[in-house]
A and B are shown apart, each in its own frame.
Chain A
Amino acid sequence: NAGVMQNPRHLVRRRGQEARLRCSPMKGHSHVYWYRQLPEEGLKFMVYLQKENIIDESGMPKERFSAEFPKEGPSILRIQQVVRGDSAAYFCASSPRGSSTDTQYFGPGTRLTVL
């Protein structure tokens, strides 16, 4: 039973480029969460999505960041015009239901480096 998959595992971008991070949830899970971990800090929630819906984006920066979870395919976190401060590890988690006490299972993360 495959776990949460994220790709790429490492991504290098120059300032001003776009970064696309992909997350495939565990089989049977239809709820996806994105978290960001800046160097030497804890994980911070960004956004929670169900298929085709953004449920909670309270942790998303207002500009340059967007997320989607289409009916088919992985969830995508998109960062436009990246800046050095976007360098971080981005983790995706999934859960089978939308309950607030559902266990979330995490992927290995994507490490974004902005040059």
Chain B
Amino acid sequence: DAKTTQPPSMDCAEGRAANLPCNHSTISGNEYVYWYRQIHSQGPQYIIHGLKNNETNEMASLIITEDRKSSTLILPHATLRDTAVYYCIVRVELGANNLFFGTGTRLTVIP
């Protein structure tokens, strides 16, 4: 699976959009980008995933660049409950089943 690079930490003001970047420059054509988050020692929570196209669900939007070498997770109106560690994970079709959690980005939403 392709390696991902994320900033170690970010702050965001409550009510503003949180934009979390992820670099996956070695991604291949059959690799998906997944985002999970872990709120203070709870179990990781699935957020969203995509292959090529931008995706949106009730939690977030995922913007994948045209060359697929990077992506951005957008939380449109961050709340204090969004404070968590966010993990960007690349998974290949027909690859290993386990998720590889790197160090992620620690997002702190500030009142």
Which residues does A use to contact B, with CB under 8 Å? 4, 31, 33, 35, 42-45, 48, 55-56, 58-59, 89, 91, 93, 98-109, 111
* A43–B96 touching, CB < 8 Å: no
Which of chain B's residues have a CB closer than 8 A to the CB of A59? Answer: 98
* A109–B101 touching, CB < 8 Å: no
* A101–B46 touching, CB < 8 Å: no
* A100–B95 touching, CB < 8 Å: yes
Which of chain B's residues have a CB closer than 8 A to the CB of A99? Answer: 93
Query: Knowing A106-B45, A109-B41 touch, does A100 contact B93 (C-beta < 8 A)?
Result: yes
Determine which of B38, B43, B97 lies in contact with A55 in the assembled complex, contact meaning CB atoms within 8 Å. B97
Query: Knowing A100-B92, A101-B32 touch, does A4 contact B98 (C-beta < 8 A)?
Result: no
Which of chain B's residues have a CB closer than 8 A to the CB of A109? Answer: 41-43
Which of chain B's residues have a CB closer than 8 A to the CB of A55? Answer: 97
What would be 15 A-B contacts, judged by CB atoms less than 8 Å apart? A31-B97, A33-B98, A42-B104, A45-B98, A56-B96, A58-B98, A59-B98, A91-B43, A98-B97, A101-B92, A102-B97, A103-B34, A103-B46, A106-B46, A109-B42
Most chain B CB inside 10 Å of its own CB: which residue of A31, A48, A98, A104? A104
Chain B's nearest CB lies how many Å from the CB of A94?
A: 11
Query: Knowing A104-B46, A106-B43 touch, does A42 contact B103 (C-beta < 8 A)?
Result: yes
* B93–A43 touching, CB < 8 Å: no
Which of chain A's residues have a CB closer than 8 A to the CB of B93? Answer: 99-101
* B99–A42 touching, CB < 8 Å: no
Q: How far is the CA of A76 from the CA of B91 in the complex (A)?
A: 26
